[in-house]
Amino acid sequence: MKQVVKERPDITFYIKMYPLKSHPGAYEKAKAIVCEKSLALLEDAFAGKTLPKAKCTTSVLEENSRLAEKLGIASTPTLVLSDGRVVPGYRDAKTLKEMIGK
């Protein structure tokens, strides 16, 4: 996504934290990221670094889980494109730009 935004600043990605129950510790990591509203913590999580404990109470993760269920999303990453297409799985920058178009 970083590469896409670098090449196409007209494209915006909205990241919804959706911790899968099958991933141990994912909920607490996602909660820490949401509480801090921190892309740096998201990067740390991807890098396998230990994250600090969440410092807030939030219902965002439960809301995201309900939305994912409603949209039929069961895996991460999953993209929801502006035309409504739901695309599960990782896509490289070139493929993302082709899917988005314009």
The amino acid occupying position 37 is: K
Extract the tokens encoding 102: 């314009």
Residues 6+ apart with CB under 8 A from 55: 32, 35, 36
> At 50, which CATH number?
3.40.30.10
pLDDT single digits (tens) 29-78: 999 999 999 999 999 999 999 999 999 999 999 999 999 999 899 999 99
Number of domains in the chain: 1
In this prediction, residues 76-83 reach a mean pLDDT of 91
Asked if 4 and 11 touch (Cβ cutoff 8 Å), the reply is yes
pLDDT confidence of residue 102: 65
Range of the domain at 77: 2-100
